[in-house]
Amino acid sequence: MEKFITDERTGLRYELVGDYYLIAGEDEPESRPIGIWGKRHLRYLKQYRKVLYSELLISGKLNDYLADLNEQAEKMFSRLVKQLAEKEGVTEAIKAENQLLWVQRMNSIRNDAMEIVSSDLIYT
């Protein structure tokens, strides 16, 4: 059996994979990382939004969708941490005086920001 065949009617090129011919892609598409936020949203889609997950997977847009969502979530998370730290007065001066207190307050701020991002972007 030939490794590649072309359907003259549709112009599609097929590649032999095991015992089956599958549509051959161009070159490897540029893969963007989906990151932690994208992985969380993927898990949510698989469990609660199966139709949307299937549509994105079949159309080949799932990875781009998750990568875009991950970028939005990262930007939102960074912005929220910065804003919440300013609002609560967590500064470098506190870090210099009492590192343990600074770490405690920053962890609390990060947890708050993670909850906001999760509720606004990831689990909707």
How high is the pLDDT of residue 19?
A: 87
Residues 56 and 8 in one domain: no
Higher-confidence residue of 5 and 78: namely: 78
Residues 114 and 83 in one domain: yes
Higher-confidence residue of 41 and 21: namely: 41
Residues 91 and 66 in one domain: yes
Per-residue pLDDT of 24-77, as tens digits, reads: 876 555 678 999 999 999 999 999 999 999 999 999 899 999 999 999 999 999
Residues 39 and 21 in one domain: no
Average pLDDT over every residue of 103-119? 97
Tell me, yes or no, if the pTM score tops 0.85: no
Residues 43 and 61 in one domain: yes
How high is the pLDDT of residue 28?
A: 52
How high is the pLDDT of residue 29?
A: 52
Per-residue pLDDT of 79-99, as tens digits, reads: 999 999 999 999 999 999 999
* Widest pairwise Cα distance in the chain: 74
Render 26-62 in DSSP notation, one character per residue: SSPPPPPP-HHHHHHHHHHHHHH-HHHHHHHHHHT-H
Q: What are the tokens at 7?
A: 């359907």
Please determine, for residue 108, whether its predicted confidence score (pLDDT) is greater than 90.
Answer: yes
Residues 56 and 98 in one domain: yes
Give the C-alpha distances (Å, rounded to integers) separating 47 from 52, 72, 123: 11, 22, 11
Number of structural domains the chain divides into: 2
